[in-house]
Structure 1
Amino acid sequence: MTTVLVVEDSLTDMKLMTYYLQQAGLAVVSANSGEEAQEKLHSHKPNLIILDVVLPGQSGFELCREIKTDPHTSEIPVVICSTKDTDVDKMWANMLGADAYLPKPVEETELLRTIRQLIK
């Protein structure tokens, strides 16, 4: 089964994305900080990561850079999902290796279409 790691500190956004993903038949592992995400990343080996930018402690941008520079995790697709929706934010995410960028509030069909494209 395809597993998605959702890194999100907003309980509302976490529940919404988890619902969308589970309805699409995907397994969901959740983390609400970059540090927790690092632990779950190594224990669950997800097929894809959905990453918020504004997180307690380590930012999503920092975590994305770490994921993409680590040879053990660099091939895992990362989707940034954030309220920060400027061209600069999108450019920064792209420079750090993110595979896609979705603005919040996340739209179910857009989220699932993006995920399907990345985990073929």
Structure 2
Amino acid sequence: MSIIKLDYKALWDGICNWSRKVGRATARPVLLLWYVMSSSETPRKDKLAIFASLAYLVFPIDILDAKRLPVIGWLDEIVSVAVMIQKMAKYITPEMQCKVDALLDKWFPEYAQYEIIEA
């Protein structure tokens, strides 16, 4: 049995840099996936799937090159995150959502004052 060593710090750094470039709305599902992956309640196989999806999104490795295929080049990444959000939604807790919103408020304070969220 081989042990896979995942570099969570490099992934987090990549997510932070990527998120600040793409903006609040686009970063939110990615950060939710990060918190799901970080949870002790999430099964290991799901954590590995999330890690792979997030790494594919934020690191400069592409199956479909966005520079050669501008629209299609982003589809593989969008689909990867969308599928992960759909599959992992059952693990997203209100606490995770609050952590993500607080982090986004810190990174994008200009947007925080305009958002009104009512239950």
TM-score by length of 1: 0.29
Higher relative contact order (CA 8 A, sep 6+): 2
Q: TM-score, normalised by structure 2?
A: 0.30
Give 1 or 2: higher strand fraction.
1
Which protein shows a greater Rg? 2
Pick the structure with more helix per residue.
2
